[in-house]
Structures are given as structure tokens and as C-alpha cells.
Amino acid sequence: MTAGDGAACLAYVHGSEVAHSWHMSMIELWMHDLARHQRVMRGGLLAMRYGTGGIVGARNEVVSRFLGRAAEWLFWIDTDMGCQPDTLDRLIAAADPAAGRSSAACASLRSNTRSTGWAAT
């Protein structure tokens, strides 16, 4: 992995449960990533379990660990959310390369008739 190769570290913190929409999103995202750019395959995964009241500390620790990696992007998905398989590709395509290493987040869910019960918007 080299700087500028588009590698993305997939990150999340979790308690004892994750939402079905998140689980399905992860399966679809990994399949999409494997079939295309392998951004996440190259950037790796950072997952951390937290206990009661520990979510802020867990998030800070994950970000600290990310900063010690060579991955260019941090792609964070809360475990109560879902996303489309190509969300990471679309975010990177829309990013400003002059801004340097940065992060951004946006998420919302709406109910629909999809088998997961949720869809990212």
C-alpha cells in the first residue's frame, strides 16, 4: 500500500449487537470492493468493542490507530446504519484531492420495501 493508492480503512465500534441493515451493507460492500478497487481489502479493518458509556473512547482509539496506518481514507459506518455497496467509491470520487487526508460523514436511513427493511439515502 502506498500513499495515493485510494486504500480505505473500514472502521466501526460495536456493542453487543449490530443492526441487520449494517450487517447486510457490510456483506455487499465487501463483495463490491473485492470485485472492483479492493480499497478496503488494501486498507484493512478497524473494529473495536465497547462497553456501557465507552463509545466515545472507543471511537477515539480507532481514529488514533487509523492515523498510524498508511491507508489514505477512513470509512466509518455506525453499526445502526446501512449504506449502498458503492458508497465508498462515490465519496472518494467526490473528494477534493487538494484537501489532503481528511474524513467526512453523512448518513440517513429511510424505510422502504427492500429485504433489509432499510436503505441508505
Burial of residue 55, with CB atoms counted within 10 A of its CB: 0-12 exposed, 13-18 middle, 19 or more buried = middle
Query: Is the predicted pLDDT of residue 3 greater than 90, yes or no?
Result: no
Please give the full DSSP string across 52-94, using - where no structure is assigned.
TT-HHHHHHHHHHHHHTS--SEEEE--TT----TTHHHHHHHH
Band of pLDDT at residue 56, cut at 50, 70 and 90: very high
Distances (CA, A) of 67 to 20, 54, 109: 29, 20, 29
Using one digit for the tens of pLDDT, what is the confidence trace for 4-40?
678 999 999 999 999 999 999 999 999 999 999 999 9
Percent of the chain whose predicted confidence (pLDDT) is above 70: 77
Residue type, 99: A
